[in-house]
């Protein structure tokens, strides 16, 4: 019983880490590092690592870089959408991050392609996420 309680307490503590990271200030050093890493956001794993490491720096040009990466992946790399599904199921904060970066900084043709992918190519079992993505990309 004690092990179960300890496991639950540890799990609850780990679940709060992203929220705590979002509330702490972005240091100058972190902002510089986040900005330098923008160009390396080539897949969902790298975007997730950046989110975990630098979510507190999600503003200005860094936020625009995140939006560009999210938009590019959703528009041009749909074949790896299953990885996004897995990451967002495990971390709802990451889902909010991805949806937040489907925004007005993305070109209209990118938003249109994202919406089309989400509506036409949605894998079975991911309808909820696809609907959120389609709605967000159509609203901007």
Average pLDDT value over all residues in the chain: 88
- pLDDT band for 140, please (50, 70, 90 cuts): confident
State if pTM tops 0.85: no
Q: Which whole number is the average pLDDT over 105-115?
A: 98
List of residues 6+ apart from 58 with CB closer than 8 A: 22, 66, 97, 100
Band of the pLDDT at 13, cuts 50, 70, 90?
very low
Phi/psi of residue 106, nearest 5 degrees = -80, 140
Tokens 């959703």, located at residue: 74
Q: Which two tokens stand for residue 85?
A: 């599904």
Stretch 42-70: mean pLDDT: 97
């Amino acid at each position: 019983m004690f092990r179960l309680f300890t496991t639950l307490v540890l799990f609850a503590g780990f679940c709060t880490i992203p929220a705590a990271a979002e509330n702490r200030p972005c240091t100058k050093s972190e902002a510089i590092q986040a900005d330098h890493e923008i160009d390396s956001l080539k897949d969902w794993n790298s975007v997730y690592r950046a989110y975990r490491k630098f979510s507190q720096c999600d503003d200005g040009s860094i936020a625009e870089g995140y939006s560009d990466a999210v938009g590019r992946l959703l528009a041009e790399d749909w074949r790896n959408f299953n990885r996004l599904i897995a990451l967002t199921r495990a971390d709802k904060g990451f889902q909010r991050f991805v949806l937040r970066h489907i925004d007005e900084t993305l070109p209209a043709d990118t938003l249109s392609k994202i919406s089309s992918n989400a509506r036409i190519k949605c894998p079975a079992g991911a309808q909820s996420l696809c609907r959120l993505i389609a709605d967000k990309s159509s609203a901007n």
